[in-house]
Amino acid sequence: MAGRYEIRFSGSGGQGMILAGIIMAEAASIYDTKNVVQSQSYGPESRGGASKAEVIISEDPIDYPKATSIDCMLAMTQEACSKYYKDIKKDGILLVDSEEVKNVPEGEFSVYTFPIIATARDKLGKTIVANIISLGIITELTGIVTRNAMEKAVLSRVPPAFLELNKKALHIGFEKGLELKKG
Amino acid sequence: MAEKKRILLQGNEACAEGALYAGCRFFAGYPITPSTEVAEALSVKLPKAGGKFIQMEDEIASISAIIGASLAGVKSMTATSGPGFSLKQEGIGFACLAEVPCVIVNVMRGGPSTGYPTGPGQADVMQARWGTHGDHPVIALTPAYVQEILFETVRAFNLAEKYRTPVMILYDEIVGHMREPIVLPEPGEIEVVDRVKPTCPPEEYFPYDERYEIAPLAAYGEGYRFHVTGLNHRQDGFPTNDPATIQEGIKRIIRKIENNRDDIMKNEEFHLDDAEICILAYGSTARSGREAVKIAREKGIKVGLLRPLTLWPFPEDTIREVSKRARVVVVPEMNLGQIVYEVERCADCEVVGIHRVDGEPITPAQIIEVMERYK
Amino acid sequence: MSGAAVAVKKKLSVPFDYSKYIRPGKLPHIWCPGCGHGIVLKALLRAIDKSGLKKDDICMVSGIGCSSRTPGYVDFNTLHTLHGRALSYATGVKLAKPELKVIVITGDGDALAIGGNHFIHTCRRNIDMTILVYTNAIYGMTGGQYSPATPVGSVSHTSRYGNIEPPFDTCEMAKASGATFVARGTAYHCQELERIILEAIKHKGTSVVDIIDSCPVYYGRMNKYKSASQMMEMIEKNGTISVKQAEKLPPEKLEGKLLRGILYKVDRPEYCEEYEKLIKKAQGKG
């Protein structure tokens, strides 16, 4: 891999976007051995509003820490999608929650839609793990981290009581990611 | 030997780790964005290390408490941001004059006033220099990477202890909140400096002994019943109205920093040797500057970066030197022009600033655009 | 017979030697003739002597003002800090080295106005320290301006038409804030004050002593007192009543009088001791 790979996780406060960013950063830097910078921006509210977390992954040392030319973006709400999609680069990837984002932006990037939150609710009974499903999908769509690294990263970040739940969520993500990639 | 384990840490968490490594065992603070994680981390880790964390009733109480704790012989730190930094200024002046080692972290956000708490800024750099009233010395360090925050926090404590002076660590919200993989140093891996304590009998002890540039500092409760005041004082620590003693006292606290510039100064120089354009940047803005150098060099532009890690005292000599070779010094900073004027004061060539205060970082593209005009 | 016995007793009593607590060469002090601060200092030194504390184990911390110059004269570990901030510096000293006995010398302006926030929070924590508030109802060092303890109607250099701000009751505030020992004394009742300060020093937790004291040069002159001694008598003697005497009197006889003595004393967990428990818990030894 040459140069920078930029991922943006966006949604509203409380959806675990920053945690998703941290897990992605740990997968890439601790369990794989790349360089990463993870950053976030958020408003005054802990819940609601538009929040985003960014992860830059590179074989080389990373200086500029913010995303400017995004390889992959996740949008969990319409507000975040509309606010943040413009930095997606040509041939980049946009993954949206199909129930939340009805007005999917158009551009020279690939769009993948999937009812992420609904899947978390219907299949696992917990919308809280929607972010983990997203991580599974993104792992497959981008290939930027290995499945193994991502699984280790997820499991090291969640409380013991929720290991199985998160593992299931991640694997649902992996499967859906593969399906989406195949088209 | 197995490679050391990397961990992903936030800048503020790395600051806490650096403090612990340096032997900090007392932290007093007050919650404020974007520095709060320093306090949160130390509230967990200090008691484990047998140290004390206290959340004081305000920012002024916090700086006051760390000065008190330091005089009792314990390495101490506080951390804050914008408004809190303003409130701490009087205490910083006390620590300067009374020569009490302590570390003050300012995670810079947008200002003035409440400003933009969750956005980055670099507009406190002149306040760090001149924020407290009266003439006084200042040491301020400006790390830009998470690993570097850890190292520079250790260095801040070392300088504070060595020079009996408050040392500030200034980094912005971007670096404070970002996460990068870092390696925690093993004990003994980096030098840790402890203050020099007196060995003379108590009756011969002067806390500001004129025979020294930096006198040994006793701790309260160890047999040296000395006096500390924020008034101009004599070598024995007691107040004076003698004009010569007052002036000499102030000059000495400034001299002890100026005379030791070689030890205190630290810069990163990146592609500077043949640079016709020099970018001078600090903190997260320097990361943009470094990126800009890498991109511009690929285009054949002879550009280099001078990155002060010690911003105060100011790297006057280095800038003079660099500016003899360069056509222009470009100074990007997240304020409307502060360090750029210091550079103008020292540089033998044209100086141009790039400034923004909208809470967004200065991008490499912005810097390259300015450099294109000078290539 | 009894007269002879008294005479013998008098011969045996040795005057208290203050010099062992005074730093050589640091007197004369800055206090004006007629000021009560010297009387309070003497009571404090006698109390410290009776407490048995060693000079090395005492840290005396002050803020800014006339009373706050005290630490400069006495032979302890001493710290003269910023206006209002003595309690915060003292908190740092105490928490860093809990084995020190911390005594804070402060005035009504220092403790209650600019340092009011620190005062209530120090009391709330119940950190082990003795706070002596020298209440002379005026800012003396800056030349006589009204303070949070100045009575309504009093004249000062910033209340020329009479003060319209009601004063704090320092003891009530200390108690409400969580101090576990609250007392009041005066410079006039100097032996009683010595006993009160000794009890305050011996108390584990935050102890506050409100010490009614007179500033004849500013407060006295502007408020038509004839002399320092007359001022002491009117304010400190006639304006106060001991708790014990007060118990015997009907409420109407107590009007306008401040209570003297130990007004409140209770046991509550002390901050530094609680912190040691917290450390054990954090280290998994709790």
The DSSP result for B172-184, as a single string, is EHHHHH-EEEEEP
> Do A66 and B174 lie within an 8 Å CB cutoff?
yes
Average pLDDT, chain B: 97
Most B CBs within 10 Å, among A39, A58, A62, to test the B interface: A39
C2 pLDDT tier (thresholds 50, 70, 90): very low
Contacting residues of B for A40, CB less than 8 Å apart: 177
Count of beta carbons in the 10 Å neighbourhood of residue B174: 29
Listed as own residue / partner, the contacts of B346-354 with beta carbons closer than 8 Å and 24 or more positions apart are: B346/B314, B346/B316, B346/B319, B346/B320, B347/B319, B347/B320, B347/B323, B348/B320, B348/B323, B348/B324, B349/B323, B349/B324, B350/B374, B352/B328, B354/B330
Contacting residues of B for C85, CB less than 8 Å apart: 60-61, 64, 91
pTM of the model: 0.96
Query: How far, in Å, CA of A136 to CA of A95, rounded?
Result: 12
pLDDT for A183 equals 80
Inter-residue contact A92 to A72 (CB < 8 Å): yes
What residue of B is the nearest CA neighbor of A54?
A: B178
> Do B179 and A25 lie within an 8 Å CB cutoff?
yes
Query: How far, in Å, CA of A50 to CA of B18, rounded?
Result: 33
pLDDT for B80 equals 98
pLDDT above 80 (res B217): yes
Q: What is the per-residue pLDDT across A42-101, written as a single tens digit (0 to 9) for each?
A: 766 667 788 899 999 999 999 999 999 999 999 999 999 999 999 999 999 999 999 999
pLDDT for C285 equals 84
Look at residues C202, C208, C47 and name the one whose alpha carbon lies nearest to residue C125: C208
- Give B74→chain C minimum CA distance, Å: 6
Query: Pick from B73, B223, B239: which is nearest to C72 by CB?
Result: B239
Query: How far, in Å, CA of B110 to CA of B119, rounded?
Result: 6
B1 pLDDT tier (thresholds 50, 70, 90): very low
CATH code of the domain containing A106: 3.40.920.10
Contacting residues of B for C118, CB less than 8 Å apart: 57, 61, 64
Inter-residue contact B139 to B169 (CB < 8 Å): no
Count of beta carbons in the 10 Å neighbourhood of residue B366: 16
The domain B6-183 is placed in CATH, from the list 3.40.50.970, 3.50.50.60, 3.10.310.70, 3.90.920.20, at: 3.40.50.970
- Backbone φ, ψ for residue C219 (5° rounding): -65, -45
Whole-number Cα distances in Å, B156 to B60, B104, B139, B150, B310:
21, 9, 8, 10, 10
* Number of separate domains in chain A: 1
Sketch out chain C's domains with CATH numbers.
32-282 (3.40.50.970)
Question: Could you tell me the maximum CA-CA distance found in chain A, to the nearest angstrom?
Answer: 42
pLDDT above 80 (res C3): no
Look at residues A143, A125, A113, A158 and name the one whose alpha carbon lies nearest to residue A22: A158
Contacting residues of B for C30, CB less than 8 Å apart: none
**ω into residue B198 within 30 of 0, thus cis?**
no
Count of beta carbons in the 10 Å neighbourhood of residue C20: 10
Domain span at A118: 4-182
C7 pLDDT tier (thresholds 50, 70, 90): low
What's the first-to-final CA gap in chain A, in angstroms?
A: 24
Look at residues C164, C150, C160 and name the one whose alpha carbon lies nearest to residue C235: C150
**ω into residue B185 within 30 of 0, thus cis?**
no
Query: How far, in Å, CA of C81 to CA of C90, rounded?
Result: 9
B3 pLDDT tier (thresholds 50, 70, 90): low
Count of beta carbons in the 10 Å neighbourhood of residue A47: 9
Residues 6+ apart with CB under 8 A from C176: none
> How does DSSP assign B138-203, residue by residue?
-EEE---SHHHHHHHHHHHHHHHHHHTSEEEEEEEHHHHH-EEEEEPPPTTSS----PPPP-S-GG
Inter-residue contact B176 to B11 (CB < 8 Å): yes
Would you call A159 exposed, middle or buried from its count of C-beta atoms within 10 A (0-12, 13-18, 19+)? exposed
Beta bridge partners of B28: B54
What residue of C is the nearest CA neighbor of B91?
A: C82
> Do A36 and B181 lie within an 8 Å CB cutoff?
yes
Listed as own residue / partner, the contacts of C221-229 with beta carbons closer than 8 Å and 24 or more positions apart are: C222/C144, C222/C154, C222/C155, C222/C156, C222/C157, C223/C154, C223/C155, C227/C34, C228/C33, C228/C34, C228/C35, C229/C34
Inter-residue contact A65 to A39 (CB < 8 Å): yes
What is residue A113's three-state secondary structure? Answer: strand
Inter-residue contact A87 to A8 (CB < 8 Å): yes
pLDDT above 50 (res B2): no
Do the domains B6-183 and B268-372 sit in the same CATH topology, yes or no?
yes
Over range C127-140, report the average pLDDT. Answer: 98
Residue C244's identity, in one-letter code, is K
**Fold annotation for B268-372:** Rossmann fold (3.40.50)
Look at residues C150, C153, C149, C269 and name the one whose alpha carbon lies nearest to residue C210: C149
Q: What is the per-residue pLDDT across C177-193, written as a single tens digit (0 to 9) for each?
A: 999 999 999 999 999 99
- Give C271→chain B minimum CA distance, Å: 11
Contacting residues of B for A65, CB less than 8 Å apart: 174-175, 178, 284, 287, 361
What's the first-to-final CA gap in chain C, in angstroms?
A: 65
> Do B220 and C282 lie within an 8 Å CB cutoff?
no
How far is CA B93 from its chain centroid? Answer: 15
Inter-residue contact B62 to B88 (CB < 8 Å): yes
Query: Pick from B8, B284, B365: which is nearest to A22 by CB?
Result: B8
Interface contact B56, partner C, CB < 8 A = yes
Q: What is the per-residue pLDDT across A78-94, written as a single tens digit (0 to 9) for each?
A: 999 999 999 999 999 99
> Do B94 and C82 lie within an 8 Å CB cutoff?
yes
Domain boundaries, chain B: 6-183, 268-372
pLDDT above 60 (res A1): no
Query: How far, in Å, CA of B177 to CA of B175, rounded?
Result: 6
For tokens 């009751």, what's the residue? C169
Over range C242-263, report the average pLDDT. Answer: 95
> Do B288 and A64 lie within an 8 Å CB cutoff?
yes
Count of beta carbons in the 10 Å neighbourhood of residue B370: 17
The ipTM assigned to this model is 0.97
Query: How far, in Å, CA of B69 to CA of A119, rounded?
Result: 55
Q: List subunits contacting chain B, requiring 3 or more Cβ pairs under 8 Å.
A: A, C
B174 pLDDT tier (thresholds 50, 70, 90): very high
Inter-residue contact C228 to C34 (CB < 8 Å): yes
Inter-residue contact C150 to C156 (CB < 8 Å): yes
- Helix A116-124 vs helix A163-182: crossing angle, to nearest 10: 130
* Interchain touch A–C (≥3 Cβ pairs closer than 8 Å): no
Interface contact C92, partner B, CB < 8 A = yes
